[in-house]
Structure 1
C-alpha cells in the first residue's frame, strides 16, 4: 500500500502520538495518556496530516472521528509499535524490577475469579506491574485485542480470529440460581417450569449468553427474559424473594446466600465451555506479557 512509503518518513514519536490519537479520538485525552501538552499533540497531528495527506481525525460533535484512511492505519500501526517495543525490550524480563502497565479486558465474573489471586502474585513478585482492567462485550474485547487497545482478554470466545492466540484457563458449566421458596416441592427444576418462569440475563451490549439460547433453539423452545443486566453483582439480590431464574456459569455462585438461594442443574443439557485467555500473535515475543499470562493461570481461584 502506498501509505507504507509515507510511514517511512514519520519518526517513532509521531507514530506513538498517532496511536494514542486513534485510540482516544480526543486531543486532550491523548495528551494526558502520553504525558504531553495539548499544543504538542495538536502540532503532531498537524504534521501527521501533512505527511499522510489526510485529515485523519475530523470533528464529530465534542469528539474526533477517524477517517477511512485512519481506520486503515489502526492495525498495522499497532503491530509496528508492538514489534518496536519487542525489539527494544531487554533479553530477559525481571518481574521484581519491571515497570509496566497492562490493559486487561474481562467481565466481572472473570475479575472475581482471576484478580484476587493475580493481584496477590503481582504485589509479591512484580510490584511495579500495574493493571488497567476494562469490561466490554465479547466482541468488544476481541476488537480491543485486535486493534492494540487491549493486551489480554479473558472470557468465553468460541470463535477467535486467526490473528489471536489463546490458552484455556478452565472448563465451566451452567447452573440455575433460584429463590429457595420458589423451588418446586420435589426440589427439581423441570423444563416446563423453567420455560414458564421469567429469567434474568447477564449481558453486555447485546452479547448475552448465546450458548443457552442456541440450546433452547435446538429444542424449539424460548424463554422470557424479564430482566437484562450488564453486570453480575446485583443479580442474586434480584433473584431473592422472586420467581426469577438466573442461568449462569457455576463459579459465579460460590459465595451466594444459601439460606435464601439455591443452585440447581438446568433441566436440559447445555454444553460446557472453556474460559480462555487470548492475546494477539504479534505479541508472542513479549516476555513480560508471556510472564503475566502464566501468572493469570496460576492465580485463578479454584472452584
Structure 2
C-alpha cells in the first residue's frame, strides 16, 4: 500500500501517457488535456525516470511508442477508466426523453444512417421529443479513434472488434442484393449471372476501391465484371442508376429502401455471398450513462423489430 501513496506516483502522468499514445504528439496531447506542451514534456520525462524506458521516440510521423509503452497502453487505459467510473456521481437520474433538449453524436456511414436510424428518427418525430441525432460519417477504421477522443457517443455499422476499453453489441446479420432500374435495362428479378457480368457496375466503396467480395466470387468461377464508378456515397447510387445503364451490389436492407424510394428493382445475387454483422460500438466510459443507455436500448429495439420482418 505504501507504493500507492508514494510521492513519486502522480496519476496525472497516466493521463499524459494515454493522450500521447492516442495522438502520437506532445502538442496535440497538450491541447486534448488543456495543459501546456511543456507540462506534457515534463510529464514524459518523469515517466521515463519512473519506468526506466524512453517510452516514445521521435520519427518522421510523430512520437512512436516503444515496446514497453505498447505493453503499458491497455493497463493504463483500464486504470483511467476505473478511476472515471469510481468518481462518477453515485446517483444519476434516469434519462427522460421528454425532458430538456438532448443531442447524441453518432458515427454512421450512409448504410447505417439510412437503415439503423430510421426507426428511432421516426419515433422522435411522432413523439415530439426534443432530441437531436447528429450524424457524422465514419468507417471501421475511424470509428474507434473517434470514440476514444470523445467526438462521437456511438458508432453504427460494420465495425472492427472493440478495443479493451470499448464495447460492441451485435444488432443483426446482413446480406447483399443486386439493385438496378429494371425498366431502363429491360430486366426483372432474379438477375442471371450472364447479365450480372455483362452490365457495367457502380460500386459502393468507402475508400474508392474497385474490388470487393463480388470480384472474389466471380474470379472463383473464371469471370470478371466491368466496374465504372466507385463511391463512398451509397445513397447517391440509386440516383445514378436512374440515369446510367448499370447495376450495383448493395446491402439488402439498403437495397430495399432505395428500391421503394426510387422505383428500382431488387434481385438476389446470382452467386453465394458472405454475410456481415451490423453492430453498435461505444466507449466503456459511456456504458453506465443513463442517456447513452437509453439510446442504445432504443436502437436495439427498433432494429430487432425491423430484423424480424427482413
**Alpha-carbon offset, residue 136 of structure 1:** 2.6
Whole-angstrom CA distance in 1 between matches of 2:23 and 2:46: 18
Show the counterpart of 1:229.
Answer: 231
Where 2:262 maps in the other structure, the secondary structure is: coil
TM-score after normalising by structure 2: 0.69
**Alpha-carbon offset, residue 277 of structure 1:** 2.4
Q: Is the Cα contact below 8 Å between 1:103 and 1:134 reproduced in 2?
A: no
CA shift in 2, pair 1:11/1:40, >3 Å? same
Show the counterpart of 2:262.
Answer: 258
CA shift in 2, pair 1:144/1:252, >3 Å? same
Q: Is the Cα contact below 8 Å between 2:84 and 2:285 reproduced in 1?
A: no
Show the counterpart of 1:108.
Answer: 110
Whole-angstrom CA distance in 2 between matches of 1:92 and 1:210: 49
Whole-angstrom CA distance in 1 between matches of 2:219 and 2:21: 40
Q: Which protein is bigger by CA-based radius of gyration?
A: 2
Where 1:243 maps in the other structure, the secondary structure is: coil
Q: Is the Cα contact below 8 Å between 1:198 and 1:226 reproduced in 2?
A: yes
Whole-angstrom CA distance in 1 between matches of 2:11 and 2:170: 36
TM-score after normalising by structure 1: 0.70
Alignment map for 1:126-275 (pairs within 5 Å): 133=136, 135-137=138-140, 141=143, 152-156=154-158, 160=161, 166-185=168-187, 188-205=190-207, 212=214, 215-216=217-218, 221-253=223-255, 254-255=257-258, 258=262, 261-270=264-273, 272-275=275-278
**Alpha-carbon offset, residue 194 of structure 1:** 0.4
What is the total number of aligned residue pairs between the two structures?
292
Residues 202-226 of structure 1 show CA distances to partners (whole Å, capped at 9, x for unaligned) of 2335899965456546656443433
Whole-angstrom CA distance in 2 between matches of 1:61 and 1:13: 28
Q: Is the Cα contact below 8 Å between 1:183 and 1:189 reproduced in 2?
A: no
Where 1:228 maps in the other structure, the secondary structure is: strand
Residues 180-217 of structure 1 show CA distances to partners (whole Å, capped at 9, x for unaligned) of 45423556521111022232332335899965456546
Where 1:234 maps in the other structure, the secondary structure is: helix
After TM superposition, the structure 1 stretch with the greater mean CA deviation from structure 2, 200-209 or 178-187, is 200-209
Long gaps (5+) in structure 1: none
Residues 115-174 of structure 1 show CA distances to partners (whole Å, capped at 9, x for unaligned) of 5637959x94888xx97856133x6656888999987543235x9579676433244332
Whole-angstrom CA distance in 2 between matches of 1:205 and 1:298: 31
Show the counterpart of 2:300.
Answer: 297
After TM superposition, the structure 1 stretch with the greater mean CA deviation from structure 2, 30-39 or 207-216, is 207-216
Show the counterpart of 2:83.
Answer: 84
Show the counterpart of 2:16.
Answer: 17
Show the counterpart of 1:40.
Answer: 39
Show the counterpart of 2:72.
Answer: 73
Where 1:267 maps in the other structure, the secondary structure is: coil
CA shift in 2, pair 1:296/1:191, >3 Å? same
Q: Is the Cα contact below 8 Å between 1:75 and 1:148 reproduced in 2?
A: no
RMSD of equivalent CA atoms: 4.6
